[in-house]
Amino acid sequence: MPIPPSPSGRVEIPVAHGRLEGILREASSAVAAAVVCHPHPRGGGTMNNNVVYRAAKALVGGGVTALRFNFRGVGASTGSYDEGVGEEEDVRAAIDFLRAQAPGLPIWIAGFSFGARVGLTVGARSDDVVKLLGIGLALRMFDYRFLAACDKPKAIVQAAQDEYGGREEIEAAVGEMSEPKRLWVVEGATHLFPGQLDPFERAAEEAVAYLLST
């Protein structure tokens, strides 16, 4: 039976190493529910990252309940950084938790940077995840070629001057992904979207609308 979140939306997600700290925002008349994964813990990434927060806001505004959480060793989450391997287990635990909290709703995965690599990897191979939202794919750090064989709907939002994969690189990478897919490029933005969070959020809103219609 779902456990009602606190008024602040804060939740604890059970996982093998203890618990993950999370924030659950329920959309009114929700039509789907999404796990949202944050950027690299070693770079200061948390669920309170501005891009992650704006992505979750865009999801909820589009009718998709959003669960942000801190990977192991971040904030109040137990455990310690595990090179992306254990973090995939954290994503799986978040999916299971969200399914219990939002029974019957289709599950999506969204992720930013490191969170996109970890989240989309899990989402692509999980039968119970139906749609993927990738933000700031760090193409120079991680291999996303697994998306070439993934026929789930994919929406990608990238900064035009992303230090880890700018316009030409992301266009080439998305070109190799299986359909259905769509790319949004935020002009004048770098990886963390400094000074460009409003344009990013508008792109994220369009990406959510695309996924809802696909």
Residue 1 is predicted with a pLDDT of 47
Residue 38 CA: distances (Å) to CA of 2, 5, 110: 24, 20, 9
User: Does 2 map to a domain?
Assistant: no
Residue 134 is predicted with a pLDDT of 98
- How many domains would you assign to the chain? 1
Half-sphere exposure (Cβ direction) of 41: Cα atoms closer than 13 Å: 18
Q: Find tokens 């690299």 and name the residue.
A: 40
User: Does 35 map to a domain?
Assistant: yes
Can you give the pLDDT of all 214 residues of the chain as single tens digits? Answer: 455 555 679 999 999 999 999 999 999 999 999 999 999 999 999 999 999 999 999 999 999 999 999 999 999 999 999 999 999 999 999 999 999 999 999 999 999 999 999 999 999 999 999 999 999 999 999 999 999 999 999 999 999 999 999 999 999 999 999 999 999 999 999 999 999 999 999 999 999 999 999 9
User: Which tokens go with 207?
Assistant: 């990406």
Whether omega for the bond prior to residue 180 falls within 30 degrees of 0, making it cis, is yes
What is residue 146's DSSP assignment?
G
User: Does 4 map to a domain?
Assistant: no
User: Does 65 map to a domain?
Assistant: yes
User: Which tokens go with 98?
Assistant: 């969200």
Residue 210 is predicted with a pLDDT of 98
Residue 195 is predicted with a pLDDT of 98
Q: What domain range is 207 assigned to?
A: 10-213
Instruction: Kindly compute the dihedral angle of the four CA atoms of residues 142, 85, 52, 76, in this order, to the nearest 10 degrees.
Output: -150
Angle between helices 114-125 and 85-101 (to 10 degrees): 60
Q: What is the CATH number for 122?
A: 3.40.50.1820
According to DSSP, the β-strands at 32-37 and 18-25 are: unpaired
- 43 three-state secondary structure: helix
Q: What is the total residue count of the chain? A: 214
Residue 8 is predicted with a pLDDT of 73
User: Does 100 map to a domain?
Assistant: yes
User: Does 20 map to a domain?
Assistant: yes
User: Does 44 map to a domain?
Assistant: yes
User: Does 46 map to a domain?
Assistant: yes
